[in-house]
Amino acid sequence: MFAPIGLVVVLPPGGEKEQKELQAINNPYINGVAVQMNWRDIEPTEGQPDWSRLDEIFSAAESPNKWVQLLIFPGCFLP
């Protein structure tokens, strides 16, 4: 395991600007991605998690070999 280093693009909760965010991952000066998500964005309906946004982010980060850090906020951000 290694500590993330370098410049990072922070993807805030909500994902309203997904295309721009995914394009930022391809910037050659960016080393990684910090993904902030509320649990309600992962599981909008109890018992039915939707991993599609994380799948997109991991796929976008894989080919340019970027690291991904997940920051998932539980608690008051539940559905």
User: pLDDT, tens digit, for every residue of 60-78?
Assistant: 888 888 888 888 877 766 6
> What integer pLDDT is reported at residue 65 of this predicted model?
87
Q: What residue type is assigned to position 42 of the chain?
A: I
Is residue 68 within 8 A of residue 61, CB to CB? The reply is yes
Instruction: Please state the rounded mean pLDDT for residues 48-58.
Output: 89
Close Cβ partners of 29 (under 8 Å, ≥ 6 residues apart): 7
**Mean pLDDT rounded to a whole number for the chain:** 81
Rounded to whole angstroms, how far apart are CA atoms 78 and 44?
8
Q: Nearest 5 degrees, angle CA 42-CA 39-CA 36?
A: 90
